């Protein structure tokens, strides 16, 4: 019934990890969710609840054991799906930025365009300079990651992901590793992207951001979606007892 209706379809997805000792962790358990074009979905939940794992299955960095994920009509589980092409179209911003350490800020944004999208060097550079301008660090284009603050590195990382013209942007605790004074700027940039209509899935502990920017929120615990709703719902009368406890602790 839902098929074909939604931009991103996550249906009955489960993922478990086998531990070296022989144990098994059910990181994501039977998760179903549908994300529309232009929607900003914020995922919250305690540590180890499976937020990152779910996010990473959406761009194929992590495979899933059961269920189905379809992005804009492309089934990630299909044997003929070009996963590299798909990853190029799904932007990912990491907690620890993961900028290419051997490249300047500019070249971090240029390289994926020339290597993956086969853009010409000059076109890629033009795009890169525009994007660095847009994220507010055009003046640091020739600096290496080690010469930039965390906040600046994360801006470059966002520019790098945007350069691929992604259909959706995934953020995995993009501000958790930043100094408090640089968190605001990066969140502002993310809010701007959201207001421009970018489809976004955001894992974050920044409840102010969630309240202001999210269209919808989900609370995960022990690999499951425990509660789902609009931000007002979460911050005024969360139903589930586990959600209540989590929000009490974090707010």
Ligand X SMILES: Nc1ncnc2c1ncn2[C@@H]1O[C@H](COP(=O)(O)OP(=O)(O)OP(=O)(O)O)[C@@H](O)[C@H]1O
Using DSSP bridges, classify how beta strands 216-221 and 224-229 pair: parallel, antiparallel or unpaired: antiparallel
Q: Does 204 bind ligand X (CB under 6 A)?
A: no
CB of 234 to ligand X, least distance (A): 17
- Cα–Cα distances in angstroms (integers) from residue 69 to residues 28, 55, 78, in the given order: 13, 11, 10
Q: Does 177 bind other proteins (CB under 8 A)?
A: no
CB of 111 to other proteins, least distance (A): 6
111, interface contact from ligand X, other proteins, Mg ion, none, CB < 5-8 Å by kind? other proteins
Q: Does 74 bind other proteins (CB under 8 A)?
A: no
Residue 50 vs 151, nearer CB to ligand X? 50
48, interface contact from Mg ion, other proteins, ligand X, none, CB < 5-8 Å by kind? ligand X
Residue 95 structure tokens: 């907690």
Backbone angles phi, psi at 71, to 5 degrees: -115, 120
Residue 21 vs 73, nearer CB to ligand X? 21
Q: Does 71 bind other proteins (CB under 8 A)?
A: no
In the stretch 86-115, what mask flags binding to other proteins with x, by CB under 8 A? Answer: xxxxxxx-x-x-xxxxx--------xx--x
CB of 157 to other proteins, least distance (A): 8
17, interface contact from other proteins, Mg ion, ligand X, none, CB < 5-8 Å by kind? ligand X
How many Cβ atoms are within 10 Å of 183's Cβ, its own excluded? 19
Rounded distance between C-alpha atoms, residue 10 and residue 195, angstroms: 24
Q: Does 53 bind ligand X (CB under 6 A)?
A: yes
Q: Does 47 bind ligand X (CB under 6 A)?
A: yes
Residue 165 structure tokens: 């013209």
Rounded distance between C-alpha atoms, residue 185 and residue 152, angstroms: 10
Q: What angle do CA 12, 3, 39 make, to 5 degrees?
A: 80
The residue length of the chain stands at 251
Counting Cα atoms < 13 Å in the Cβ hemisphere of 50 gives 25
CB of 112 to other proteins, least distance (A): 4
């Amino acid at each position: 019934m839902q098929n074909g209706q939604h931009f991103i379809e996550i249906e009955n997805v489960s993922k478990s990890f086998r531990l070296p000792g022989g144990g098994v962790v059910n990181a994501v358990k039977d998760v179903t969710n549908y994300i529309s074009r232009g929607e900003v979905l914020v995922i919250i939940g305690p540590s180890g609840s499976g937020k990152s794992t779910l996010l990473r299955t959406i761009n194929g960095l992590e495979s899933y054991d059961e269920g189905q994920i379809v992005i804009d009509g492309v089934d990630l589980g299909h044997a003929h799906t070009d996963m590299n092409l798909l990853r190029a179209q799904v932007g990912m911003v990491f907690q620890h930025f993961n900028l290419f350490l051997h490249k300047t800020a500019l070249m971090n944004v240029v390289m994926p365009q020339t290597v993956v999208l086969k853009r010409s060097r000059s076109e890629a550079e033009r795009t890169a300079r525009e994007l660095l301008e847009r994220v507010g660090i055009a003046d640091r284009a020739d600096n290496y990651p080690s010469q930039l603050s965390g906040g600046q590195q994360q801006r470059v990382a966002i520019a790098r992901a945007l350069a691929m013209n992604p259909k959706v942007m995934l953020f995995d605790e993009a501000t958790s590793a930043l100094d408090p004074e640089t968190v605001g700027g990066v969140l502002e940039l993310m809010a701007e992207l959201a207001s421009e209509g970018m489809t976004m899935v955001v894992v974050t502990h920044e409840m102010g951001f969630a309240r202001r920017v999210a269209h919808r929120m989900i609370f995960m615990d022990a690999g499951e979606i425990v509660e789902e709703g609009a931000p007002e719902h979460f911050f005024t009368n969360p139903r589930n007892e586990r959600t209540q406890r989590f929000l009490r602790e974090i707010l």
